[in-house]
Amino acid sequence: MAANAFDRIRSIVLSVFLTVALTVPALAGAFEDGVAKFANDDFPDTEEAIGLVANSGNPLAFPIISALQDDRLSADPDTKKVYITRQDGKIIDAATGAPVDKLPDNAASVRLNNRLRRSVEAALGSLTLLSPDPAKRIAAARSVFKSHEESALPVVEGALAKETNKAAKDAFAEARAAILLNTSGISDADKLDAIATVKARGDQEALALLTDLSDQSPLVTKAAASAISSIQSRLAVWSAVQNAWYGLSLGSVLLLAAIGLAITFGVMGVINMAHGEMVMLGAYTTFVVQDVIRTNLPGLFDYSLFIAVPLAFLVAGAIGVLIERTIIRFLYGRPLETLLATWGISLVLQQAVRTAFGPTNREVGNPSWMSGAFELGQITITYNRLWILCFTLAVFAILLAMLRYTALGLEMRAVTQNRRMAASMGIATSRVDALTFGLGSGIAGIAGVALSQIDNVSPNLGQSYIIDSFMVVVFGGVGNLWGTLVGAFTLGIANKFLEPVAGAVLGKIAILVLIILFIQKRPRGLFALKGRAVEA
């Protein structure tokens, strides 16, 4: 497999070599000079080296530059020799390609800064334009679009002529347009065509390219201005769509954090200030699971969250039951004492975690299926947010079904509606109380697993969600799960449409004021529970 991949890279490099060799006469010795410059550990020298190596047409150019990008290129400052550590772990001499047993002791990897990273990307772009993999060709074309180096034009045009893949062809055409627009001495007609191509692309980068144009003929300048305004109006529509998506995503996070509270506070009426800490315990469970997997079974890392979800439910749920049995059950019907006691519990739990895991953030990784993003039209949707939205809705549906269709759910509803009646019907109310509290806490723990993917896992994690959670439950209507759902999404979307206009700080204040006004009008929230619900 590895050998196969290497062969393929070789063939790419050879084809690049052929094209480059035809266009740029390779200077004898330039390649060797370039490679030696990598060993100087000096940014200007490295920059020069990248240029020399990339334009040398030497078959080792591609391995060298890609090794440089991945931090696999090292140099010995004493002997001025440069080595490539290949992806399969084998080491070769960068200047000759000869295999080497091991790196010299004082070899250090060649350092890059941002400017050099841009040169490396541009160089790799022109080196991979002819890759057999269409995805790589597209990526290469995109990086040429960004760098619009005039020297890449012949290769781009050659590639464009024989390209068969539709997406890659578009990418090459856009790259060519970007180069033409930034080259002097091109006819206006060609430039207008180029502007049309860039306009069709219509994204932020196209906008950046067009805004950056200078020294053009009046005709071209005018066309560019009209293209800019058309792209801008299209992007404005997309930005509304984007805000709606961000709102949904924020709403799902709010819902996830609040859903456990909707049980403990909403259904049971317990003002549980330690709710946030249950979320935190869930997040720390995820950390422990990932830690164990990392050291013992690295292959299972992508499944770590599936393992963490039930465990977090059990851990947080068990602690919830423990708290209910030892403290909260003595305080039913005394909201002030409950508030203070649970506040105390939250501090105890925080400090316990701080003592056990240390005060600093713990790293919880994203599994590969939760990293990155995809483009939908002009908006970027990140996978972690998308999965959290799905996950939240799933948790919500399961919880709803549980309350409606299981015996425990029936007992819970009975006890919360009329405790004495339920007791006289033979329901063990205190057992149901404990299980309900455990369920609410367990769901908070599950929320912690998801939130560990977007927030930092520190002892303070819970505190940042407790206020928002109460806000959602109160706004949605105490005692009503659907109210929590609608409340969370309403707040999320309202917040995200306010944020771009008012800024994050004012946006949050505005939301709080709106909720206060709303509660004045409807003290029991969006969906007030009607009927004979007995207040404590």
Partner 1 sequence: MPTLFAHKIATLNRRRWLAAAAGLALGLAGLSNANAADDTIKIGILHSLSGTMAISETTLKDVMLMLIDEQNKKGGVLGKKLEAVVVDPASNWPLFAEKARELITKDKVAVVFGCWTSVSRKSVLPVFKELNSILFYPVQYEGEESERNVFYTGAAPNQQAIPAVDYLMKEEKVKRWVLEGTDYVYPRTTNKILEAYLKSKGVAPADIMINYTPFGFSDWQTEVSKIKTFGSAGKKTAVVSTINGDANVPFYKELGNQGIKATDIPVVAFSVGEEELAGIDTKPLVGHLAAWNYFESIKTPANEKFIKEWHAFTKNDKRTTNDPMEAHYIGFNMWVKAVEKVKSTDPDKVIDALPGIETPNLTGGIAKMLPNHHITKPVYIGEIKANGQFDVVWKTPGLVPGDAWSKELEGSKDLIGDWVGKKCGNFNVKTNKCLGSDS
Nearest distance in Å: CB 524, partner 1: 28
Lay out the sheet containing 73-76: strands in order across.
99-100, 91-93, 81-85, 73-76, 108-109
Binding residues for partner 1 restricted to 1-30, rule: CB under 8 A: none
Q: What is the pattern of x (binds partner 1, CB under 8 A) and - over residues 199-218? A: -----xx-xxxxxx------
Verify binding: residue 365, partner 1, rule CB under 8 A. yes
Verify binding: residue 142, partner 1, rule CB under 8 A. no
Rounded distance, CA 299 to CA 305, Å? 13
Rounded distance, CA 385 to CA 389, Å? 6
Residue with tokens 């499944």: 303
Rounded distance, CA 368 to CA 301, Å? 9
Verify binding: residue 382, partner 1, rule CB under 8 A. yes
Binding residues for partner 1 restricted to 486-515, rule: CB under 8 A: 496, 499-500, 503-505, 508
Binding residues for partner 1 restricted to 331-360, rule: CB under 8 A: 347, 350-351, 354, 358-360
CA angle 471, 475, 481 (to 5 degrees): 100
CB nearer to partner 1: give 131 or 452: 452
Verify binding: residue 230, partner 1, rule CB under 8 A. no
Choosing from 192, 339, 463, 524, the residue that interacts with partner 1 (CB under 8 A) is: 463
First and final CA of the chain: distance in angstroms? 68
Interface size with partner 1, residues (CB under 8 A): 62
CB nearer to partner 1: give 176 or 385: 385
Verify binding: residue 71, partner 1, rule CB under 8 A. yes
Rounded distance, CA 123 to CA 79, Å? 26
Q: What is the pattern of x (binds partner 1, CB under 8 A) and - over residues 259-278? A: --------------------
Q: Closest Cα to residue 110, out of 77, 63, 62, 61?
A: 77
Residue with tokens 């992806």: 87
Verify binding: residue 121, partner 1, rule CB under 8 A. yes
Verify binding: residue 111, partner 1, rule CB under 8 A. yes
Choosing from 459, 476, 479, 487, the residue that interacts with partner 1 (CB under 8 A) is: 459
Rounded distance, CA 358 to CA 85, Å? 37
- DSSP β-bridge partners for residue 81: 76
- In whole angstroms, how far apart are CA 2 and each of 6, 60, 85, 90, 452? 6, 17, 14, 11, 35
Nearest distance in Å: CB 175, partner 1: 17
Q: Which amino acid is at 530?
A: K
| Residues engaged in binding partner 1 (CB under 8 A) | 43, 71, 111-115, 117-118, 121, 204-205, 207-212, 235, 239, 242-243, 246, 249-250, 253, 347, 350-351, 354, 358-363, 365-366, 371-373, 380, 382-385, 454-460, 463-464, 496, 499-500, 503-505, 508
